[in-house]
Amino acid sequence: MGETIYDPAAGTAGFLVAAYNHIRLANSSPGAIHDDEVDGKMQRRGLGDKLSAAQVSALQTATFFGNDVDPKMVRLATMNLTLRGLANVRILLRNVLTTTLDNERKAELGLPAEGFHVVLANPPFAGRVDKDRVVEEVKVGTSTATELLFLKYMMDSLRPGGRCGVIVPEGVLFGSTTAHKELRRQLIENNRVEAVLSLPGGVFQPYSGVKTSVLFFSKPKTPVRPERSEAKPVLSSVEGSKGIQGTEKVLFLHADNDGYKLDANHDTPIEADDLPGLIDAYKMREERWAEWQSWLHASTSAALPPTLSTNGGSEPFGSNSVHPDPFGPNSVRPERSVAESKENGIGAQDRLSAAGAESKSSAWPHKYWFADAATLRANDFNLSAGRYRPMSQAAVEHRDPRELLDELAAIEAEIVEEVEALRAVLAEASA
């Protein structure tokens, strides 16, 4: 309660309704909670009987905000909210990528000038905006891809301490264009990326077969401290950094099943559902991080040969040590610094992925894992969950072919995007 919730591409206001249901459930007494069947699955709902009159009024008039570019969607969203008692929530007919609002106009519309506490969105994929219409605030290089521009807009729409959950096509996480890399750099260094949830391919069927993930990040309450020189880089979370407001580590969550059959219709309930377990992992991510660190250290130590130190010390690798590292000359131990990671161009997780687990007993058994800031920087800020997945022999031998096809589709979409950009440049040059 007391927070503002915003969807800049509201559609039928599904996210805003879900947020409203969540708030009511959290403010319901046990006797006011019941289970309803929704799409073949039981969903818990609450009446919100513990909400005061003032809190109900705040929910109805000063909590939910949204926009959409389609007048039909604006009407549907308004109807959807009205049927749930939120008739005073105003969904604006607006394209946030091509228009801006000054503080005076925001005040007239009742919008918070300092930004929103929570941003939830599933923005359009693979769309294009005329580059001459893109407003300066959302520009990322010369890109006109809506998925990149929307993400930039949402990063800037958060107030200090605000949180965001946004669905993005997989290409945003590993795209190699300058705009992709720059946007991920801003996301990781100027915000705190908490988690990336990799959704199953086809989860949005029958409307779209695009492979997607969900990004969870927050905006620091204080400005991010700029990096020091290369000689003394900012410490990563592995080194116990203090005072750094940007991303220190990212939790990657991988869902193979979401509770529905992954066919062309995606509407048949099944028992297999990874989401509840992954939600628990997210809620307890600090505890899971400690478990991951312990496993990472144990696996790395088990995979390394005995010390061949030239300085006679007992440390596994002294400053002058020479060792036949099975992970390759660019490997980095988890406790090494960001400076070494940047110099060598590889992180701790990369070393494990390259080598694989020595035995099935040492394989990481969970559908979540982590990457620290050093590893992210060394990999062009790649946020694809599969990039950092600890590989075992079983994982390599039995990788889901659907996952490979999803990756190929994402790469193909990126190629098409670049070809269209070249066409536009050639057209301008010949005009």
**Helix ranges restricted to H, 68-227:** 71-82, 103-109, 146-157, 171-174, 178-190
Tens digits of residue pLDDT in 385-405 = 999 998 754 445 566 788 788
Q: Write down the domain spans for the chain.
A: 5-288
The pLDDT of residue 198: 97
**Which fold is adopted by the domain 5-288?**
Rossmann fold (3.40.50)
pLDDT above 70 coverage of the chain, percent: 79
Kindly report each contact of residues 108-114 with a partner whose C-beta sits within 8 Å and lies 24 or more positions away, as own/partner: 110/62, 111/65, 112/4, 112/159, 114/159, 114/160
With a CB cutoff of 8 Å and minimum separation 6, the contacts of 317 are 307, 309, 323, 333
Q: Which is more confidently placed, 67 or 337?
A: 67
In 10 A of CB 102, how many CB atoms?
Answer: 9
Average pLDDT over residues 5-13: 97
Tokens 């589709």 label which residue?
A: 409
- Signed CA dihedral, 306, 311, 316, 318: sign only: negative
Angstrom distance (rounded) from CA 431 to CA 421: 15
* Average confidence score pLDDT of the chain: 82
Tell me which of 21-25, 71-75, 126-130, 238-242 is least confident: 238-242
The pLDDT of residue 297: 86
pTM of the prediction? 0.77
Tens digits of residue pLDDT in 109-143 = 999 999 999 999 999 887 899 989 999 999 999 99
Average pLDDT over residues 29-56: 95
Tens digits of residue pLDDT in 293-340 = 999 888 877 655 543 333 333 333 333 333 333 333 333 333 333 344
Q: Burial letters for 31-63: b for 16+ Cβ neighbours within 10 Å, e otherwise?
A: eeeeeeeeeeeeeebbebeebeeebeebbbeeb
pLDDT greater than 80 at residue 233: no
Largest Cα separation within the chain, whole Å, is: 75
The residue among 336, 325, 329, 328 whose CA lies nearest residue 373 is: 336
